[in-house]
Structure 1
Amino acid sequence: MDTKKVIKILNEEIVPAEGCTEPIAIAYVGAKAVEILGKQPTKLDIYVSGNMIKNVKSVNVPNGGGMVGIEVSAVLGVIAGDANKELMVISNVTPTDLEKVRAFIENKEINVIHEDTDVKLYARIVVYNGEESASVEIKHLHTNIT
């Protein structure tokens, strides 16, 4: 393999990330979906591959105040995420944000759905506010919005 190919691969694969990349990718998708919706959602549908479920369900979410799991990852992105920061999306979470995350999880509808796909790294979040909705999907790479 030539040096240019190696450097290209490294540039694609090595990016700053706030902790374990799978929960961060879910937070990124949530933040991007809210950015598109343009308002805070009242409901989330989170579609994830089996591999994502396995890798996120029991992991402490970075900056999540000790909370774990898919719902926390998504809601942190929705409440406190900055999609422009990609895998650093939840690097500026405040204690107030964590209170809002806990309240959202307790009071809003959040559905986690296993997406039957051969794609190992897959997440799609649909955010709703009344009749309005927005959907964002990633495949194969943590920030590859399709």
Structure 2
Amino acid sequence: MNVQRSSGASISNDGQGSLQCTLDLISGKWKGILLYQLISGTKRFNELRRLCPEITQRMLTLQLRKLERDGLVHRKVYPQAPRKVEYSLTEWGRGLETALLSIKSWGEAYRGEFCMEHPQLPEYPAPASPDAERVSETNTNIPG
């Protein structure tokens, strides 16, 4: 079965399998965010925690392990005390850079226009830039 695009081009079901595979690799609340943060370069675990303050330590560990298992993130452990672990994008992960930046750009346009017209939709906070030099150490969303 082919799906017609508005331009008249068709998309085959064969392409759907590739799309589904890709979406499975980056799906979930955190994988895309973590990949986006790694676009700007290698990060240590605690640096990723600061860039994504809403993620728990356990969830960050699980998501990084999945991304590593799927070949999108490289984990480098330095033999020293205290242990130093760094995460970076693999070549496969780098291949998603254009797609992630396009998705981010689309999301900014969507939030800026569609969400303004539909205020009943949930508002999402702007993500920290992968180029940000410093990240605030305080989290005002934590009660107490």
Normalising by the smaller structure, the TM-score range is 0.3 to 0.5
Which structure's relative contact order is higher, taking Cα pairs within 8 Å and 6+ residues apart? 1
TM-score with structure 1 setting the length: 0.32
TM-score with structure 2 setting the length: 0.33
